[in-house]
Amino acid sequence: MKTVHFVSLGCPKNLVDTEMMLGALGRDGYKIVENAEEADTVIVNTCGFIDEAKKESVEKILEMSELKKTGKLKNLVVAGCLTQRYKDELVEGLPEADLFLGSGSFQNIDKILRDREQGSKEKKFFNLPTYLQEESTPRINSQPKHRAYLKISEGCKKRCAFCAIPLIRGNLQSRKITGILGEAKLLVAGGVKELLIISHDFTDFGWDLKKADAGAKESPVELLRVLSEESGAQWIRVLYLYPDGITPEMIELIKTRQNLVKYFDMPLQHINNEMLKSMNRRMTHEEISVVLTNIRREIPEAVIRTQFIVGFPGETEEQFQELLAFVKEQEFDRVGCFKYSIEEGTKAGSMAGQISEEIKERRFQALMAAQRKISRRKQKELIGRVLPVVVEGFSDETELLLQGRTSQQAPEIDGMVYINDGVAKTGEIVMVEITDAHDYDLVGRILPTRAKEITLEARV
């Protein structure tokens, strides 16, 4: 039997592409193996977003190429964003790889490998990234059975000065709600309890369809309403919402629907108006503050997660201090921070006023130190609370502990709840009393409440 091993790097959107390749090859007779040494085909789905991700991708390709020395590995396939972005350089610089698939060709992986078996010498496959999956597209969920990512669109309509995504993934392409709902129902029928909606910006969903047809019904609010009413999912989490698209109507819907998680993943990037303008962001400090006030007024228990960039070209010490004061004032539940890095082909990459790495590091450390104090205090306030927690399985550290997440913790980007008392199955939602708290993680014990009696709305 043909065997294949996958390495998926980068964001959840890239992971969904990997899952579609898994589905196509599984349908084509491949056995998917967890150990790369057992595979005759290895596919590395790369990320090309920031420098660290690029380096990780290249290192992983070279690591996998070493398996060719054993004689088992026949096909080393390099796919994904890094390939799409640097197709000429990568093909020339990585002779160890046998096939190169851009982000517009991954969906043809089964045909490409069949043609190679039949003697094709073609090595490069690059098309415009215009592919959108259908409800019928084969896909194997690589996540634990109880959760899955649901990709609703491809590309991005925004042109942030620091971001290369439109260069790699193209312009915004939204799926039809009927197809998204159909896929969601299939996932739920397969055991998924939590749907994680992903795109480059959820709030732009449907814009392209309405531009082409004014009668199109696709919109962020309509998609949430339909998924809430018809998908059957117990938790629906939206990732990546720009603040300019978070309307009062959207806030009201999330407030009133029990299975819409009260979690706003809202990347702000900066708060100084000059910096926001330079980044080509659409909102001002004042407008962002209004959105945050609206969310907190209508949904006091909502968790707000955001991210910022420090060291963007031209950022002065005064502008950074404004950002730092804003973080302390707003007391966000979760904050991520990036040190700006130059991305080829972006507007910011050629801007004057590039900041030294030393200053970037100092500002990064200062912002994260401030947020750590906020997070520690917010975490400690949860001690004594009883929260619904989805069990993820044994702890990564020891099998003496279970680990799980509250509805207010997104997988892979937020902290965990470590359970030191009680028994539960993976995917089960149990009531947990929080007994201890750390900077980002919680500790608790399972209360003797039957799962079917648990209400899934976490009122934190």
- pLDDT, position 129: 84
- pLDDT, position 2: 94
How confident is the model over 356-387, as pLDDT tens digits?
999 999 999 999 999 999 999 999 999 999 99
- 13 token code pair: 């959107």
- 183 token code pair: 């896929």
| Local structure of 403: helix, strand or coil | strand
How confident is the model over 162-204, as pLDDT tens digits?
998 898 899 999 999 999 999 999 999 999 999 999 999 999 9
Residue type for position 234: Q
116 has pLDDT over 80: yes
Tell me the average pLDDT across 125-129: 88
**pLDDT-derived band at 449, boundaries 50, 70, 90:** low
Q: Name residue, tokens 């934190």.
A: 460
- 148 token code pair: 């899955």
- pLDDT, position 200: 94
Sequence-separated (6 or more) residues with CB below 8 Å from residue 383: 434, 435, 436, 437
458 has pLDDT over 80: no
Note whether 196 and 149 are within 8 A (CB): yes
Of 70-79, 152-161, 301-310, minimum mean pLDDT range = 70-79
452 has pLDDT over 60: no
149 has pLDDT over 70: yes
Sequence-separated (6 or more) residues with CB below 8 Å from residue 143: 149, 411
460 has pLDDT over 50: no
| Local structure of 123: helix, strand or coil | coil
Question: Would residue 331 be called left, alpha or beta, if left means φ above 0 and alpha means ψ between -120 and 50 degrees?
Answer: left
404 has pLDDT over 60: yes
- pLDDT, position 224: 98
How confident is the model over 78-94, as pLDDT tens digits?
999 999 989 888 889 99
Largest CA distance in the chain: 65
Note whether 112 and 100 are within 8 A (CB): no
Among 9, 2, 233, which Cα is nearest to 116's? 2
Measure CA 98 to chain center: 29
Of 123-132, 203-212, 277-286, 295-304, minimum mean pLDDT range = 123-132
- pLDDT, position 398: 84
Note whether 385 and 434 are within 8 A (CB): yes
Sequence-separated (6 or more) residues with CB below 8 Å from residue 165: 49, 155, 156, 200
- pLDDT, position 72: 87
Q: Per residue, what are the HEC states of 56-113?
A: HHHHHHHHHHHHHHHCCCCEEEEEEHHHHHCHHHHHHHCCCCCEEECCCCHHHHHHHH
- pLDDT, position 69: 87
Q: Is 124 exposed, middle or buried (0-12, 13-18, 19+ CB in 10 A)?
A: middle
Note whether 109 and 43 are within 8 A (CB): yes
Half-sphere exposure (Cβ direction) of 279: Cα atoms closer than 13 Å? 23
Torsions phi, psi for 289 (to 5 deg): -60, -35
Tell me the average pLDDT across 314-338: 97
d(C-alpha 97, C-alpha 81), whole Å: 16
Average pLDDT, the chain: 93
Beta-carbon neighbour count of residue 189 at 10 Å? Answer: 9
- pLDDT, position 182: 96
- pLDDT, position 450: 47
Among 174, 166, 161, which Cα is nearest to 206's? 174
Among 254, 12, 250, which Cα is nearest to 150's? 12
How confident is the model over 190-245, as pLDDT tens digits?
999 999 999 999 999 999 999 999 999 999 999 999 999 999 999 999 999 999 99
**pLDDT-derived band at 315, boundaries 50, 70, 90:** very high
d(C-alpha 163, C-alpha 39), whole Å: 35
d(C-alpha 56, C-alpha 38), whole Å: 22
422 has pLDDT over 80: yes
d(C-alpha 386, C-alpha 446), whole Å: 9
